[in-house]
Amino acid sequence: MKRTTDILVIGSGVAGLTFAAKMATKRPDLKITIVTKNNIEESNTKYAQGGIATVWNLDKDNYEKHIEDTMDAGDELNNREIVEMVISEGPKRVRELIEWGTRFDKETNGDYELGREGGHSENRVLHYKDITGWEVERALIDRVKSFDNIEIFENYFALELITQHHLGKVIMKITPGIECYGAYVLNRNNFVTETILAKVTVLATGGAGQLYRVTTNPKVATGDGIAMVYRAKGRIANMEFVQFHPTALFDPKEESPNFLISEAVRGHGGILKHKDGEEFMHKYDKRGSLAPRDIVARAIDKEMKIKGTDNVYLDVRHIEKEDFIKHFPNIYEKCLSIGIDPMKDMIPVAPACHYFCGGVVVDKDGKSSIKNLYAGGEVTYSGLHGANRLASNSLLEGLVYAHNIHLDIDKVIDNISINNDVPEWDTTGTSEPEEMILITQSLKEIRDVMGSYVGIVRNNIRLQRAMNRILLYYRETEDLYKTSILSQQLCELRNLITIGYLVTKSSQLRHESRGLNFNTDYPDRLPYNELTLI
């Protein structure tokens, strides 16, 4: 089945929905189609807790401070021009969110309440209780649903970006002028693979936290967008920089994903400790529990190894109960539900995979290396985050890039036409996989391999072991893929294997310890800045 649209948006988190709403306002004459692989709200965005970092109180804060905090957290691997652009555009984009009905907490005097998180030198995080992402997603869904020129397809899983490869041409990384004509998408409601042709495609598929067993990311975060661009021979960069959040709730009974204990809790006075009450963060950084994430996660990892424990603790018992519940009602309820009263007990926490700083290379307008393919949000490498993302800069990046992408598309779309020569998806010669265990076991294995060998602390032997195993999973899964009727599980496994390969390969290529890439065989930082382009 073939559909045509002017703009195909893949993904319905902050980046995809903000883009669609802005584009629909600017160009009511264009048809915009959003496909999303689950229901519309399911995304990393929905689970964001801490909030959106932006310069708001100009009496105390300024762009320069936010820029320097971002560069410092990113270990100076950031692209300064992009950092300046995102930080200075931020307040305008957040104001628009507020105009669209997003609520943020206010002080009694009516000013917005600004929270603090690790690596920030000022209070600048706008938030809605401890469920900011849920509120942002709610407001954006209301907004996109108000437009007649936006159509939304839920349970539509994008399989492949369509390029000249599907017209029978041989495409390589060095081939000039690779173009995107839309995407092949599996309609999970009837298992038909549809061909969606578009003048322009906007990729907003988020990150890949599901590559690790211990992760804060929901099931949808399987790196599909990055894997699709890699297969389409687009540019990918800096995949070694996988961010581990220092404080996911440690609950041995909980299935993936792991519940997050927001960094805002530390911004509100929470202190990291051992079971016996000993504090340890001051040994690693003068900012203590509020140092940037890479430093805190590494310190916790080291302390757990020294003590032989599976977790450390976050102590919030000194915070007034009413104040804690007002700011963190969701976290309070979750802790109570597993028998931990944060006012009496320290909260057990451990690091969990949280965010991908690398991804599809885009310029300041969100243009990828593939013509007519834009990307925004966590799926990208934009240059904002460098070697480690500053807390609460991600929602901001999604908003700013959605804006820039819509401006650029408005300028070019009238000169682009649909390519009607694209063939339908070919399903000949395939059958149902006989055993699901061929998929589920490989998924378990690759997650464990990544956690054990490509985690917070790496070395060359571990990376090579991981690579040997990933290549085996790759071969086995490609064989299965070539002979099976498509299922979402098989495609997600295939994508995660690709992401595992990209993370491991990029880490092998970076001969230094910087930001989130900590390799004990290369303990020093190199004097020059370089991307890991793949």
293 classed as catalytic: yes
CA separation, residue 287 to residues 67, 290, 310, 354 (Å): 18, 5, 24, 21
48 lies in the binding site for ligand FAD (CB under 6 A): yes
Residue 502 touching ligand FAD (CB under 6 A) = no
**Minimum separation from the CB atom of position 356 to ligand FAD (A):** 8
Q: Using the rule CB under 6 A, give the single segment among 258-266, 314-322, 357-365, 518-526 that binds ligand SIN.
A: 258-266
- Going 5 to 166 to 160 to 416, the CA torsion angle's sign is negative
For residue 506, state whether it binds ligand SIN (rule: CB under 6 A). no
What order of strands is seen across the sheet that includes strand 347-356? 242-249, 347-356, 312-315, 271-273
Binding mask 33-52 for ligand SIN (x = CB under 6 A): ----------------xx--
Does the protein bind ligand SIN through residue 24 (CB under 6 A)?
no
CB of 241 to ligand FAD, least distance (A): 13
Short-list 133, 139, 121, 123, CA closest to 51 = 133
Nearer to ligand FAD, 49 or 532 (CB): 49
Say whether residue 10 binds ligand FAD (CB under 6 A).
yes
140 vs 463 by CB, closer to ligand FAD: 140
Q: Does 43 bind ligand FAD (CB under 6 A)?
A: yes
Contact yes or no for 75/389 (Cβ under 8 A)? no
Tell me how far apart the alpha carbons of residues 493 and 500 are, in angstroms, rounded to a whole number: 10
The reply on whether position 15 binds ligand FAD by CB under 6 A is: yes
* Binding status of residue 388 toward ligand SIN by CB under 6 A: no
Task: Please identify which residue in 20, 150, 281, 391 interacts with ligand SIN, judged by CB under 6 A.
Answer: 391
Please name the residues in contact with 110: beta carbons below 8 A apart, sequence gap of 6 or more.
none
Which residue lies nearer to ligand SIN by CB, 157 or 328? Answer: 328
Decide if 304 contacts 310 (C-beta within 8 A): yes
Please report, as residue ranges, which positions from 85 to 104 form the binding site for ligand FAD (by CB under 6 A).
none
Supply the DSSP string of 209-242, one letter for each residue: GGGSSSBSS-TT-S-HHHHHHHHTT--EE-TT-E
The residue among 90 and 182 lying less far from ligand SIN, judged by its C-beta, is: 90
Is 216 a binder of ligand FAD (CB under 6 A)? yes
Based on the shown chain and the rule CB under 6 A, indicate whether residue 519 belongs to the binding site for ligand FAD.
no
Q: Closest-CB residue for ligand SIN?
A: 50
SS3 content of the chain, % helix, strand, coil (to 5): 40, 20, 45
123 binds ligand FAD (CB under 6 A): no
Q: Is 262 in the site for ligand SIN (CB under 6 A)?
A: yes
Residues 6+ apart with CB under 8 A from 363: none
Cβ(261)–Cβ(382) under 8 Å?
A: no
- C-beta of 2: minimal distance to ligand FAD in Å? 18
Q: Does the protein bind ligand FAD through residue 132 (CB under 6 A)? A: yes
Confirm if 121 and 318 have CB atoms less than 8 A apart. no
Instruction: Say which entry of ligand SIN, ligand FAD, none residue 10 contacts (CB below 5 to 8 A, set by partner kind).
Output: ligand FAD
Q: Could you tell me if 45 and 399 are in contact, meaning their C-beta atoms sit under 8 angstroms apart?
A: no
Q: Which of 27, 93, 213, 293 is catalytic?
A: 293
How far is 403 from 19, CA to CA, in rounded Å?
6
User: Does 13 participate in binding ligand SIN (rule CB under 6 A)?
Assistant: no
Question: Minimum CB separation from ligand FAD for residue 342, in Å?
Answer: 18
Length of the chain: 534
Question: Does 405 interact with ligand FAD (rule: CB under 6 A)?
Answer: no
> Rounded to the nearest whole angstrom, what is the least distance from the CB of residue 353 to ligand FAD in the complex?
9
- What does the alpha-carbon distance between residue 500 and residue 512 come to, in Å, rounded to a whole number? 20
Asked whether position 398 contacts ligand FAD by CB under 6 A, the answer is yes
In angstroms, what CA-CA distances link 213 with 288, 388, 449, 490? 28, 21, 10, 17
Tell me the residue ranges of DSSP E strands in 250-341.
Answer: 271-273, 312-315
Q: Which does 224 bind (CB under 5 to 8 A by kind): ligand SIN, ligand FAD, none?
A: ligand FAD
Task: Please give the full DSSP string across 415-454, using - where no structure is assigned.
Answer: G----TTPPPPP-TT-B--S-THHHHHHHHHHHHHHHHHS
Residue nearer to ligand SIN on the CB measure, 396 or 502 = 396
Asked if 392 touches ligand SIN (CB under 6 A), the answer is yes
Binding site for ligand SIN (CB under 6 A): 49-50, 262-264, 391-392, 394
Binding site for ligand FAD (CB under 6 A): 10-16, 35-38, 42-45, 47-52, 132-133, 157-158, 204-206, 216-217, 220-221, 224, 260, 355, 377-379, 392-395, 398
Task: List active site positions.
Answer: 293
